[in-house]
Amino acid sequence: MIKTVKVAVIGAGFMGSMHASIFASDPRAELVAVVDRDTTRGQALAESIGKGVRVYASHEELLAAETLDLVSICTPDHLHLEPALAIAAKGVNLFIEKPIASTLEDGRRIVEACKAADVKLGVGYLLRFDPRYYKARELIEAGKIGKPIHLYARRNSARTEGPKRYAGTLPLAMHVTVHDVDMVLWMLKGQVPVTAYAQQTDILLGEMGTQDTIAGVVRFSGGTVVTFESAWSLPAGARHMIDARLELIGTEGSFEVQCGDSGLYFADNQSSQEIDTQHWPEIGGKVGGDLRQQLSSVLDWVNGVECQVATGEEALLSLELTQALVKSAETGEVQRL
Ligand SMILES: NC(=O)c1ccc[n+]([C@@H]2O[C@H](COP(=O)([O-])OP(=O)(O)OC[C@H]3O[C@@H](n4cnc5c(N)ncnc54)[C@H](O)[C@@H]3O)[C@@H](O)[C@H]2O)c1
């Protein structure tokens, strides 16, 4: 029988606020609590949601007070490990925002802890829930592409967004390219990456402690070559909010996933703006888009329904390949995997 999933969200920042809002408005979930070490922030989020959502200052307090089915971890990347280990040890299922952790060692410890405790572990690669990417992968699965020869994955966004929030934390590739890396690995299941080479620049954003662009080339075991291009240096007035696309050429067919255009472009006498219709648009006062699709599927998944959420093991593979691209860009050397 499908039961209501009792869920808590740790980290009441940018992503955590949206996770909390989605769970609170899904009839399959009961949002029990939000946790933030900044209790003012946690309190503000709980109040905006209402419904008696409780607030805690730490995962220890949460776990001591509540009985839960699922915890969503939305703390900064280097702070996923501690709450994840404690939650798994308590026998509670986990969903962690991408990347699984900031280091492979932390990521492996999380995967091992979830295995040892026999709890589910999902990682937030939301492109898997974008119908365009999902349907593109189906073309490969259905054999319509034949053997994949070459993929090109682009994700370029404005300097006013990503760097403002994440400069000085992990490299650009770990915030941006990692999404495409997960998607490519998911699409090329059966092949493994063999070599990775990348170059990056920091002409514009170096002073802020981050990179403008990274461009990488990865060769896979079946011979497929993949080109990655990620930037968060587009000018503020750029037409595209996120200029993302994925192209594949195969022996029997090709496809293009075009996400450069959200389909909604607004201009007035002062400025112009593309409006998000893909990731987390607010619709009828509720967060929608592929983030909602993903978290809704995760609620069913906790209840035993299969879904395409990235597993811990898959998240380790995307972290490993992204790190190899970063290392290559930093050293100038080809990385062998
Ligand atoms: N899926 C996506 O497209 C996507 C997009 C952006 C960010 N992210 C990921 O989401 C995660 C969160 O990023 P964000 O932008 O929301 O960060 P944020 O800085 O906006 O929020 C993080 C919150 O965690 C709180 N916090 C920090 N340490 C804590 C702890 N030990 N216990 C409780 N609370 C703690 C902070 O006070 C803050 O409120 C990161 O892993 C990030 O990479 C994913």
Domains, the chain:
5-124 (3.40.50.720), 130-275+313-336 (3.30.360.10)
pLDDT value, residue 328: 98
Instruction: Work out which ligand 1 atom sits closest to the CA atom of 41.
Output: 39
Rounded Cα distance between 65 and 59, Å, is 10
With CA atoms as reference, report the closest residue to 228 among 120, 330, 150.
150
Instruction: Work out which ligand 1 atom sits closest to the CA atom of 125.
Output: 1
Rounded Cα distance between 307 and 287, Å, is 21
pLDDT value, residue 1: 62
Instruction: Work out which ligand 1 atom sits closest to the CA atom of 126.
Output: 1
pTM above 0.95?
yes
Looking at residues 282-297, what average pLDDT do you find? 96
Residue nearest to atom 38 of ligand 1 (CA): 13
Beta strand 54-56 with 29-35 is parallel
Taking the centre of ligand 1 as the mean of its atom positions, its distance from the CA of residue 64, in whole angstroms, is: 22
List the structure tokens of 310: 């990235």
Provide the Cα torsion 46, 49, 53, 55; round to 10°: -10
Query: Per the omega criterion (within 30 degrees of 0), is the bond before 99 cis?
Result: yes
Looking at residues 6-29, what average pLDDT do you find? 98
Task: Establish whether residue 167 lines the binding site of ligand 1, counting it when its CB lies within 6 angstroms of any ligand atom.
Answer: no
Residue nearest to atom 18 of ligand 1 (CA): 13
pLDDT value, residue 238: 86
Q: Is the model's pLDDT at 2 over the cut of 80? A: no
Rounded Cα distance between 204 and 202, Å, is 5
Instruction: Work out which ligand 1 atom sits closest to the CA atom of 36.
Output: 34
Taking the centre of ligand 1 as the mean of its atom positions, its distance from the CA of residue 28, in whole angstroms, is: 24
List the structure tokens of 263: 């389909």
Write out the E strands in 26-106: 29-35, 54-56, 70-73, 93-97
Task: Establish whether residue 234 lines the binding site of ligand 1, counting it when its CB lies within 6 angstroms of any ligand atom.
Answer: no
> Do 118 and 144 meet the contact criterion of CB atoms below 8 Å apart?
no
pLDDT value, residue 241: 83
With CA atoms as reference, report the closest residue to 45 among 75, 81, 20.
20
Task: Establish whether residue 60 lines the binding site of ligand 1, counting it when its CB lies within 6 angstroms of any ligand atom.
Answer: no
pLDDT tens readout for residues 53-95 = 999 999 999 999 999 999 999 999 999 999 999 999 999 999 9
Can you spell out the DSSP letters for 260-295?
A: S--S-EEE-SS-EEE---SSS-EETTEE-HHHHHHH
Mutate to test the pocket of ligand 1, among 35, 38, 74 (most ligand atoms within 8 A of CB): 74
Indicate the average pLDDT of the chain: 96
Taking the centre of ligand 1 as the mean of its atom positions, its distance from the CA of residue 158, in whole angstroms, is: 20
pLDDT tens readout for residues 109-135 = 999 999 999 999 999 999 999 999 999
With CA atoms as reference, report the closest residue to 172 among 204, 125, 136, 132.
204
DSSP 262: -
Contacts of 180 (CB under 8 A, 6+ apart): 127, 153, 154, 155, 228, 230, 246
pLDDT value, residue 26: 96
Binned at pLDDT 50, 70 and 90, residue 228 comes out as very high
Contacts of 1 (CB under 8 A, 6+ apart): none
Burial class (CB in 10 A: 0-12, 13-18, 19+), 200: buried
**Coil vs helix vs strand at 258:** strand
DSSP H or E stretch at residue 191 = none
Please, which residues bridge with residue 121 across strands? Answer: 94
Q: Is the model's pLDDT at 218 over the cut of 80? A: yes
Task: Establish whether residue 79 lines the binding site of ligand 1, counting it when its CB lies within 6 angstroms of any ligand atom.
Answer: yes
Taking the centre of ligand 1 as the mean of its atom positions, its distance from the CA of residue 38, in whole angstroms, is: 12
Give the HSE-up count for residue 215: Cα atoms under 13 Å, Cβ half-sphere: 3
Taking the centre of ligand 1 as the mean of its atom positions, its distance from the CA of residue 253, in whole angstroms, is: 40
Q: Is the model's pLDDT at 182 over the cut of 80? A: yes
Fill in the amino acid letter for 327: K
Cβ atoms within 10 Å of 285's Cβ, excluding its own: 7
Task: Establish whether residue 8 lines the binding site of ligand 1, counting it when its CB lies within 6 angstroms of any ligand atom.
Answer: no
Taking the centre of ligand 1 as the mean of its atom positions, its distance from the CA of residue 124, in whole angstroms, is: 12
Task: Establish whether residue 10 lines the binding site of ligand 1, counting it when its CB lies within 6 angstroms of any ligand atom.
Answer: yes
Characterise 76 by phi-psi region: left (phi > 0), alpha (psi -120 to 50), beta (else): beta
Task: Establish whether residue 16 lines the binding site of ligand 1, counting it when its CB lies within 6 angstroms of any ligand atom.
Answer: yes
Contacts of 73 (CB under 8 A, 6+ apart): 10, 11, 80, 83, 84, 87, 94, 95, 96, 97
Cα angle, residue 133 at apex, residues 132 and 138 outer, rounded to 5°: 95
Binned at pLDDT 50, 70 and 90, residue 221 comes out as very high
Instruction: Work out which ligand 1 atom sits closest to the CA atom of 17.
Output: 16
Binned at pLDDT 50, 70 and 90, residue 240 comes out as confident
Instruction: Work out which ligand 1 atom sits closest to the CA atom of 15.
Output: 16
Fill in the amino acid letter for 332: G
List the structure tokens of 163: 């760097």
Taking the centre of ligand 1 as the mean of its atom positions, its distance from the CA of residue 14, in whole angstroms, is: 7
